[in-house]
Chain A
């Protein structure tokens, strides 16, 4: 032992801290793997952290109000908000409000997807269509959808059509560009392989580009669906007499802060639920993406 150490002075200095150990034991292993870059996390720890992250603001909120640090007029307690949701459900037509809001989002988002998917596919596949439409779409995209509201009200009025149209304007132009980008990301080698097997243009679009881009397209729909909810509230804040956004606005008029809280939380919950549904669909529809 000692002879070996004498021969290799650098090794000796390294092991000097642990007399008695023989080989240079892999000590750095103890250096927290928790913070390793892009490291792995056990399922249990992941769930625990998710739970902690989600409940943290609620705990803080509860503490803040329970300790009487806030004026309940401006900052209702979690209990009060929960109670308000109950009353909203039984006496104030919560289900109707949710129903009408979900319908508006689905109509605006659905119409947007219906046109954006084929249009984006064409922009991403054919250069002439891209040159013709993409700069225009990019230009309109930068016009704030909210600024269209006065115009939409003048043109379409204040009935259902206007809310759906605002959601459409808010999501459509972004969606087209994202779809086009998804389609452009299909590897050229996949397309060229089909070409050298004799596939014609239609077959390449149908059998290669579409199935190849599908997972990315579903992700695009998931992300733009979130935006649709944002524009729903904008539309309902301005021109509606029903729906979650309208309820929030009306609550402000009567200083019902608990109902404002309730409305915001409910929209968040619906969004979270939709997002998870999209993710579930993604896992179900594309088993080949799993390693």
Chain B
């Protein structure tokens, strides 16, 4: 399996807060293939966001190693774009300027010049704008857009430098249910079109199943991989599949497992007793 896109080997992360050591991640082993769509779920504190941020190069692991195309990760890079939950757009730039932001950067400028395809790059910005349904908002500022529209801009901006890997940290967490459904189909479409490897962190199990080809379930204290599920759905997906028996069965299984590992259970009997006393 040396041809894995991303190889995570025995990765651990320890935070120190108030002179207390917190094991955010412990001995993570994971292989992700090119063009895979992997979703990460788990109870809060399981370290799924931390793992994603380490792969992005925004944080460094305390132990172990991560190989990207066989090379150890050393800081953030253009090959791994990241989409955040919010506040990552540049409010002083218009939609188009936000999407084209990376073209001012030296790394990108060099590759564009070397390829000699400045026009292609300009065309790509237009194409992304089109793909995201943002053509009417080219010159709008982020503050004039809805939350869903803002996340479309963020995704388009992340896709602009043609990243081989797209890292998404609860990108739809702040959106309403309807907008989220639209975004799900959009991101599946992007995945098919761009052939990128996508790592997607979410707290929404339904989202994880609908989007992913594989689901990594993580557990807290210490943050670790609990189990991995293959999603029994065809590559071409539609909203009706959310009602299919294999979908709901998987959802029930994963939700149950998260509940078991979270360490935060509701004692229904206790609640009933309290209600009885109050009544």
A residues whose Cβ falls under 8 Å from a Cβ of B:
187, 189-190, 192-200, 203, 207-208, 211-212, 214, 286-291
Q: CB-CB contacts of B163-175 with A at 8 A, as 1s and 0s? A: 0000100000000
Whether A197 pairs with B102 at a CB distance below 8 angstroms is: yes
Q: Which residues of A contact B144 (CB under 8 A)?
A: 291
User: How many interface residues does B have (CB within 8 Å)?
Assistant: 37
Q: Is A189 a contact of B106 with CB atoms below 8 Å?
A: no
* A289 contacts B143, C-beta separation under 8 Å: yes
Supplied contacts A195-B58, A198-B102, A200-B106, 15 more A-B pairs, CB within 8 Å: A189-B88, A195-B75, A196-B158, A197-B161, A198-B76, A198-B78, A198-B161, A200-B105, A203-B104, A207-B105, A212-B92, A288-B91, A288-B92, A291-B143, A291-B144
CB <8 Å contact, B106 and A193: no
Taken together as a complex, chains A and B put the C-alpha atoms of A54 and B58 apart, in Å, by 53
Closest residue on chain B to residue A290 by CB atoms: B143
Which chain A residues border B142 with CB–CB below 8 Å?
288
Please indicate which of the listed interface residues A193, A199, A207, A287 has the most CB atoms of chain B within 10 Å of its own CB: A193
Complex Cα distance A273/B57, Å? 49
Interface members, chain B 44-58 (any A CB < 8 Å): 56-58
CB of B107 within 8 A of CB of A192, answer no
Q: Are B101 and A197 in contact (CB under 8 A)?
A: yes
Residues of B within 8 A of A200 (CB): 105-107
Once the chains are docked, how many angstroms separate the CA of A198 from the CA of B80? 9
Instruction: State how many angstroms separate the Cβ of B247 from the closest Cβ of chain A.
Output: 32
Q: List residues of B (150-186) whose CB comes within 8 Å of A's CBs.
A: 154, 157-158, 160-161, 167
A195–B104 CB distance below 8 A: no
- Mostly, the B contact residues are loop
Q: Is the CB of B104 within 8 A of A192?
A: no
A-B residue pair count with CB separations less than 8 angstroms: 89
Pick from A190, A192, A196: contact of B90, CB under 8 Å = A190
The answer to whether A288 and B108 touch (CB under 8 A), given A190-B90, A193-B84, A198-B77, is: no
Q: Are B88 and A187 in contact (CB under 8 A)?
A: yes
Interfacial chain B residues near A212, Cβ < 8 Å? 90-92
| B199, CB-defined interface residue at 8 Å | no
User: Assuming the A-B contacts A198-B76, A198-B161, A291-B144, are A193 and B88 also in contact, with contact meaning beta carbons closer than 8 angstroms in the complex?
Assistant: yes
* Separation of A290 and B57 alpha carbons in the complex (Å): 35
| B205: A residues at CB distance < 8 A | none
Bound Cα distance from A288 to B97, whole angstroms: 13
> How far is it, in angstroms, between the C-alpha of A208 and the C-alpha of B97 when the chains are bound?
13
Q: Are the CB atoms of B105 and A192 closer together than 8 Å?
A: no
B97: shortest Cβ distance to chain A, in Å? 10
Q: Tell me the minimal C-beta distance from A281 to chain B in angstroms.
A: 15
B-side contacts of A198, CB under 8 Å: 76-78, 102, 105, 107-108, 161
The 5 closest A-B pairs by CB, nearest first: A198-B78, A189-B88, A198-B107, A196-B82, A288-B141
- Residue pairs across A and B with Cβ atoms less than 8 A apart, 16 shown, are A190-B87, A192-B76, A195-B57, A195-B75, A196-B56, A196-B57, A196-B158, A196-B167, A197-B158, A198-B76, A198-B107, A199-B105, A203-B104, A207-B101, A207-B104, A208-B90
Cα separation A286 to B88 with both chains bound (whole Å): 18
B124 within 8 A of A: no
Task: Tell me the smallest distance from the CB of A235 to a CB of chain B, in Å.
Answer: 38
Q: Judging by beta carbons under 8 Å apart, are B84 and A192 in contact?
A: yes
- Cα A290 to Cα B140 with chains together (Å): 11
Closest B residue by C-beta to A214: B92
Tell me the minimal C-beta distance from B53 to chain A in angstroms: 8
Q: Which B83-99 residues have a C-beta within 8 angstroms of A?
A: 84-93
B81 is an interface residue with CB less than 8 A from chain A: yes
Residues of B within 8 A of A189 (CB): 84-88
Q: Which residues of B contact A190 (CB under 8 A)?
A: 87-90
Residues B249-271 near A (CB distance < 8 A): none
CB distance from A195 to the nearest CB of B (A): 4
Q: How far is the CA of A197 from the CA of B78 in the complex (A)?
A: 5
What's the minimum C-beta distance from B167 to chain A, rounded to whole angstroms?
8
> Min CB distance, B262 to chain A, in Å?
27
A214, B91: Cα distance in complex, Å: 12
Bound complex: CA of A187 vs CA of B154, how far in Å? 15
Q: Which residues of B contact A192 (CB under 8 A)?
A: 56, 58, 76, 82, 84, 88
